[in-house]
Amino acid sequence: MRIANLDGRAVLLTSDEAGLDVHAASAGRFGPDLPSVYKDWAAFMAWAEALPQAAGDVAIERARLGSPSPEPRQVLAIGLNYSEHAKESGFEQPETLPPVFTKFVTSISGPDTTVTLPAGGNTDWEVELVAVIGKTASNVPAAQAWEHVAGLSVGQDLSERVSQLAGPAPQFGLGKSFAGFAPIGPWLVTVDEFADPDDLELGCSIDGEQVQKARTSELIFSVPQLIEALSKTVTLLPGDVIFTGTPAGVGLGRSPQRFLRAGENLVSWVEGIGDLNQSFVMGDR
């Protein structure tokens, strides 16, 4: 099952080109927006699974898509969760929970956007699998973690390295939270759609040149392990977003280092979900 955010309304996709407006199809029971759907996720899933097959009555236009979780109460992001990325970043592979930071909600955008690069900065790319929580999770064991996930999406943890690393201590949250620095999409895909949700290819390219490619089976801490570890401290709420970490190939780890430039196009994908498309312009500050 795939659920999109079309002009702020929850849409159940029937194909890549069409879908059903959830609020209209459920006679007002669910929706109209996705945050309200996540609050009643189990009932929504039961309704959607029992829905007779029907042709979509809403056209899906990529330019109108927003993030499949546009207003999470918490955005948790994981660092150093692929061995080769930890190595290129100059760190040892974490043996306990990897670094956890947040991206602020105002950085979230939809799948196809134009992003303004901060002047004087070095903006980097980090393709990631994103998990969206569908059921409140507190002290959840890994064996039950997938039951608390509404679905998966594609994310870019865009990172401005100058502000991120400046000062006496790194400012990860600020360096990763400029406007448009958290595109998510193109839609949410429920976990049952994947033969193995723990082994998906992901990657990204700049103007057609591949810069990252890996499989989520290479994650040091899998999605279930992350949920187990995070939920020991943080109560995860419906609609919350987890950026699960990026593989090797970021600009900071290259020799020479290489960062995004105005006029370039970044395409990011995860197998079985879809892709994001970001273009870049230079800001004046």
Task: Return d(Cα 64, Cα 276) in angstroms, integer.
Answer: 13
Q: What is the mean pLDDT of residues 235-247?
A: 97
Q: Would you tell me which CATH number, out of the four given (3.40.50.970, 3.40.720.10, 3.90.850.10, 3.20.20.70), belongs to the domain 65-282?
A: 3.90.850.10
Q: What is the mean pLDDT of residues 240-245?
A: 98
Q: What is the mean pLDDT of residues 99-117?
A: 97
Task: Return d(Cα 151, Cα 134) in angstroms, integer.
Answer: 8
Average pLDDT, the chain: 95
Domain positions in the chain are 2-60, 65-282
Higher per-residue pLDDT: 172 or 135: 135
Look at residue 134 and tell me whether its pLDDT is greater than 80. yes
DSSP β-bridge partners for residue 193: none
Task: Return d(Cα 232, Cα 188) in angstroms, integer.
Answer: 25
* Residue 281 φ/ψ region, left for φ over 0, alpha for ψ in the -120 to 50 degree band, beta for the rest: beta
| pTM score | 0.96
